[in-house]
Amino acid sequence: MSAELPHLASPSPLSPPLPAVLAPIMRVTLQQLADDQRDMPVDVLNCRVAAAPPVRSLRQALTSPGPRLKLIAEFKPRSPSRGWLRQDADPKAFAVAYQRAAAVSVLCDRVHFGGGPELLQVFRSLAAQPLLAKGFFVDPYQLAQVRALGADAALLIARLLPGPRLAQMLGHCRDLGLEALVEVHNQPELEQAVLADAAVIGVNARDLDTLAIDLQGCRQLLAQVPAGRVAVAESGLETRQEVDRLRDWASAGHVNAVLIGTALMTAADPQAAVAELGFA
């Protein structure tokens, strides 16, 4: 890694307006980024990245032999749409509950999701699976932060990275040794992800303007992910019936994994919930 991280500015005023759900989150995110850059110089962060443990491949975990539909289990104490899901969530208990998952997603946003980047270190000591850092990443400094804390992959939201920015951030992931899951919500974003050579593409069923869930639209978009890419269904999947439909799609080669958070975080027994969804 170079002695100085390249910098990408915050989203330009010329970029399309952010959806209502993302605008307040990004205001907090960009302020936190500025504070972090002030508090930890790049050379110190570079040293921490150099000392980080080897990356465990998310892509390999989602395409390995075994169940045709893999689970990415998410640790998400809070949701912007529903408030606190589990205010007393214990990472150790959830690491045990998520042992059947192929990977674990960890929310790095404190204010809106009740998580935090420091949770990556906690889960790194508790979980054997690859860790997906889920946040609102628009600058390579943020990617270096999560890599230093033990992340194996980072979520990149196409809506936040218009034009060439997505490809640039994917390049920074590669430079840091991170894998990436690129999240898309519509056809143009899927085309952008494919052109940027994203290896793992997540289709979010939640409309970022209205927060409505469209599972049918999600399945239609998943069917358009090119062969050779890893396809992940995200958001709004809470029942065994919905997951079993995706298993049928997995058999047809349209999807590799599903990311589930809310249904597991709100379950009285998260480990039993994992089994009830068919991941025993």
As annotated, the active-site residues are 74, 76, 134, 183, 204, 234-235
Q: Where are the alpha helices (DSSP H) in 41-164?
A: 42-50, 58-63, 91-97, 118-126, 140-148
Positive or negative, the Cα torsion across 233, 234, 237, 238?
positive
User: Nearest-CA neighbor of 55 among 193, 154, 137, 183?
Assistant: 154
DSSP string, 152-184: SEEEEEGGGSTTTHHHHHHHHHHHHT-EEEEEE
**Helices and strands of the chain, counted as H and E runs:** 12, 10
C-alpha span between 252 and 163 (Å, rounded): 32
Tokens of 214: 């469209």
Residue 96: phi and psi, rounded to 5, are: -65, -45
Q: Cα–Cα distance between 176 and 2 in angstroms, integer?
A: 10
Q: Where are the alpha helices (DSSP H) in 22-73?
A: 23-39, 42-50, 58-63
